[in-house]
Structure 1
Amino acid sequence: MKNNTDLNEEALYLRKEFGIDFTSPVDIFSLIGNLDSMTTILYPFSNNISGISIKIESERIIAINSTQSYGRQRFTAAHELYHLFIEEENMVICENVEWEQKPDSEKEADIFASYFLIPDEALKQFIEKNLNRDNKHLTAEDVIEIQQYFQISHKATLYRLKIDKYSYDKELWDLKAIDLAKKQGYNKKLYQSNSKMKQYKTTGNYIKKLEEIRSKNIISQGKYEELQREAFIND
C-alpha cells in the first residue's frame, strides 16, 4: 500500500493538473462537471455502495450514491477521481465497509480524497489563521468550522485530522454534528442527503453528446426523449 506522503503528492499533482491551487477549498462537482469526457450521475444506490467509476476509452463516468449526505457525496467524488486518474482503472464499485475490510486500493483512494479536498498546507493555514490555534488539540467547534470550510462530512473530517495527528476528544465520533453546526450558524445541507426529487441526475459529457447527435439528426426526437428519460434528464 502507498504511504501517505505519496498519496498527498498525487493529490497535489491532480489539483495542479486541474488548475487548482494548494490552499483553496474545491467545488468538486463544478470541477468534474467541467472536465472533458466526464459524466456524473447521482443515483440512490443501496446503502452498501458509495460510488462507481467507469472508464471506457477516453470517456469517464462517476456515479455517486445520492442518499448519502452532501459532504459524503463530495468525498466520494474525490475518491472516484483516484480510481480514474491515478489508478486509471476501467471500472470500480466502491462499497461501504469498515476500514479494516477495505482492500488497499480503497484505503488509498480514501486517503487521496482527504488530501485532495484538504491538502496539508491548506489545513495547517486554516487552523493557524482562522482558528488561531498554536497547538494540535481541537475543540468540537473547531472541527465544525473545518468541515464547513472544506465542505466534507463529519467523520471524513475526523479521519483527516487523525492523519495529520491533530488531537480532539474521542466523544466527537458520537457527536451529532448537524445540531452543533446549526448552533454555530450553519445550514444543514452538508449533513443531509438529496431530497427524493433530486436523487436522480446526470450532468456533463453525456448531455453534450446527446445534444450533438440530436443536432445532426442522427436520432429521432422520440429516441432523444427516451435517452433523456433514461439519464434522468427532466429538462
Structure 2
Amino acid sequence: MARSDAAAKMLLTQFGIDEAPIDPVVIAEKLGVLVVPQDMSDDVSGMLLRRGDEQVIGVNQKHHENRQRFTVAHELGHLRLHRGRPLILDTDTRVNFRDTVSSMATDREEMEANRFAAALLAPEPMVRRAAREAEFRTAQQLALIMARRFEMSEVAMNYRLINLGIIADSTT
C-alpha cells in the first residue's frame, strides 16, 4: 500500500469514518485545521499555511464544490505527508520558492497529495463495494455514478477507478 493510501486510511480509521460521501472539511476541523473559503485567482486551487501550532487551508470559493472538496483533501495530504514547509500554494502554474526545499521533488509531493485526496474521498474498499452494487453498461457510466456517489468530479473519479484497476478507461 502506498504511503498516501496508508495515511488516508489511518485518518479515516482515526475518526471512525466508514461511509461515503466523506467530508474533508469535517476531518480538517477534527484535526484543528481551519478551512477558509477565499477569493483566489482562477489558477489557484488552494493553499496550506502552517505557523507554529496553527494550520489553515485556504480554498478557492469560485471553484466547483467537488473541486473544493478535493482541494481540501489534497491540502490535508500535504499536511499529513509533507512536513516542514510553512506555505504550500497549489496553482495550475508552477510556483518555485527559493528556500531549503526548492531542490526537492515537488511534483512527487503533488502526486502524493493527489493520491491521498483520492484515497481519502474514495477509499478503495468503499469504491469496490459501490462498483459491485452499481448498475451500468459502460465505464463512462460507472465513472459518472461513482462521481455522484462520492461527490467528486468525473475526471477525479475516472482516475481513481483506473488507478484501482476497476476500469481501463471510461471512454470505452
From 27, 45, 67, the equivalent of 1:50 is 45
**Shift in Å at residue 117 of structure 1?**
0.6
Tell me the TM-score normalized by structure 1: 0.61
Would the aligned equivalents of 1:147 and 1:154 in 2 still touch at CA under 8 Å?
yes
Residue 6 of structure 2 corresponds to 9
**Shift in Å at residue 38 of structure 1?**
1.9
CA change 1:138–1:57 in 2 (3 A) is: farther
**Shift in Å at residue 97 of structure 1?**
4.9
Unaligned runs of 5+ in 2: 95-105
From 27, 34, 38, the equivalent of 1:31 is 27
Would the aligned equivalents of 2:4 and 2:81 in 1 still touch at CA under 8 Å?
no
From 62, 69, 74, the equivalent of 2:69 is 74
**Shift in Å at residue 127 of structure 1?**
0.4
Unaligned runs of 5+ in 1: 172-235
Q: 2:57 corresponds to which letter in structure 1?
A: I
| Higher helix content, 1 or 2 | 1
CA change 1:35–1:138 in 2 (3 A) is: same
**Shift in Å at residue 132 of structure 1?**
4.8
Deviations 1:29-60 (A, max 9, x none): 2332x325321111121122111001112111
4+ residue segments displaced more than 6 Å: none
Would the aligned equivalents of 2:140 and 2:171 in 1 still touch at CA under 8 Å?
no
Larger Rg: 1
The sequence identity of aligned pairs, in percent, is 24
From 108, 111, 119, the equivalent of 2:112 is 108
Tell me the TM-score normalized by structure 2: 0.82
CA change 1:36–1:146 in 2 (3 A) is: closer
Aligned equivalents of 1:41, 1:170: Cα separation in 2: 36
Aligned equivalents of 1:124, 1:97: Cα separation in 2: 34
Query: CA-atom RMSD, angstroms?
Result: 2.3
CA change 1:113–1:36 in 2 (3 A) is: closer
